[in-house]
Amino acid sequence: MRYITFALAKGRLAKKSLEIFEQMGITCEEMKDEKSRKLIFTNEELGYRFFLAKASDVPTYVEYGAADIGIVGRDTILEEGRKIYEVVDLGIGRCRMCVAGPKEAEEKLKHHELIRVATKYPNIAKDYFYNQKHQTVEIIKLHGSIELAPIVGLSEVIVDIVETGSTLRENGLVVLEEVCDLSARMVVNPVSMKMENERISRIIEDLTKICQEQQK
Ligand code: PRP
C-alpha cells in the first residue's frame, strides 16, 4: 500500500489537527514527542506519513504532490495561490483578515487616497484593493509585528489577521474594513485525489463529520 502523506502547518494548528485526527482513529504516537528533531513520522498500520512544515510551504508540498494532503490556514492558501483543492473547513483557528489602522485612516480609505498598506500578505492585499475595491495603494511587505507599521509611520493601514482583537486594542488601532473570514482547511493534491480517491474521500468524509459535530 502506498503511503498517504500529510503536511501539517507547524504550531498551534498542527496540535489541534492531530487531536482531530485522533478522533478519526488516525494516530501518530511518534509525533507527540515535542523534543524529537525527527521531521517525518509514519503510521505503518494505516499507511500514513506525516510531516510538519512552515505554514507558507504547506501549499507548495501539496501542489507538487510531495504531500497528498495538507492542513493549513485559509490565509496561507489565498496568499500562496497554488493549484490545490480546498476540501474541508476544519472550523478551528477561526479569525478574520482585516484592514486596520488608526481611526483617522478611515477617511483616507474612504476617499481613495494613495495610502501605504503594510502586510505579511501582499497577494491578499493586492487582490482586495486592486480587484475588489479598484483602489490604488502602495503595498509594503513585512514579516511580522505588522501592527508596528502605522504606529511608527511606515504605512497608513495594515492588512492582517485579527483573532481576539487584543493586539489592535493594545496598540490604539481599530478594524477599518473586513477582507474575509479565515480558518484551517484541508487541501488535497489534484492528482492524489484521482489516484487515491477511495482513501482520500474516506478521510474527507470522516473529517467533515467530526468537524461538523464539534461545531454544533
Ligand atoms: C497574529 C497577527 C496579529 C495577531 C492577532 O500575529 O499577525 O498580530 O496575531 O491576534 P489577536 O487579534 O488575537 O491579537 P502572530 O502572533 O502570528 O505574530 P506576528 O506578529 O509574527 O505576525
Q: Where are the domains of the chain?
A: 4-93+183-214, 95-181
Residue nearest ligand 1's atom 16 by CA: 145
Closest ligand 1 atom number to CA of residue 95: 12
- Residue among 163, 168, 174 to mutate when testing ligand 1 (max atoms within 8 A of CB): 163
Q: Where are the beta strands (DSSP E) in the chain?
A: 4-9, 40-43, 48-53, 69-73, 85-89, 95-101, 116-119, 138-141, 157-162, 174-182, 184-188
Q: What is the CA radius of gyration of the chain?
A: 19
Identify the band that residue 3 occupies on the pLDDT scale cut at 50, 70 and 90: very high
Please tell me the pTM assigned to this model: 0.94
Residue nearest ligand 1's atom 22 by CA: 144
Ligand 1 centre to CA of 170 (Å) is: 12
Q: Is the pLDDT of residue 12 over 90?
A: no
β 48-53/95-101 pair status: unpaired
Ligand 1: lining residues by beta carbon, under 6 Å? 120, 144-147, 160-167
Q: Which fold has domain 4-93+183-214?
A: D-Maltodextrin-Binding Protein; domain 2 (3.40.190)
Same topology between domain 4-93+183-214 and domain 95-181:
yes
Identify the band that residue 178 occupies on the pLDDT scale cut at 50, 70 and 90: very high
Average pLDDT estimate for 116-136: 97
Residue nearest ligand 1's atom 2 by CA: 161
What nine digits make up the cell of 161?
A: 489577521
Closest ligand 1 atom number to CA of residue 147: 8
- Burial degree of 129 (CB within 10 A; 0-12, 13-18, 19+): buried
Secondary structure tally for the chain: helices H, strands E: 9, 11
Q: Would you tell me which CATH number, out of the four given (3.40.50.300, 3.40.190.10, 3.40.980.10, 3.30.420.10), belongs to the domain 95-181?
A: 3.40.190.10
Amino acid sitting at position 64: Y
Ligand 1 centre to CA of 30 (Å) is: 30
- Residue among 145, 161, 182 to mutate when testing ligand 1 (max atoms within 8 A of CB): 161
Q: Which range is most confident: 15-19, 48-52, 138-142, 211-215? A: 138-142
The confidence score (pLDDT) of residue 36 equals: 81
Identify the band that residue 190 occupies on the pLDDT scale cut at 50, 70 and 90: very high
How many of the other CB atoms lie within 10 Å of CB of 188? 22
Q: Which residues partner with 116 through β-bridges?
A: 138
Ligand 1 centre to CA of 81 (Å) is: 22
Q: What share of the chain is helix, strand, coil (3-state, %, to 5)?
A: 40, 30, 35
Task: Judge contact between 191 and 83, C-beta under 8 A.
Answer: no
The confidence score (pLDDT) of residue 35 equals: 82
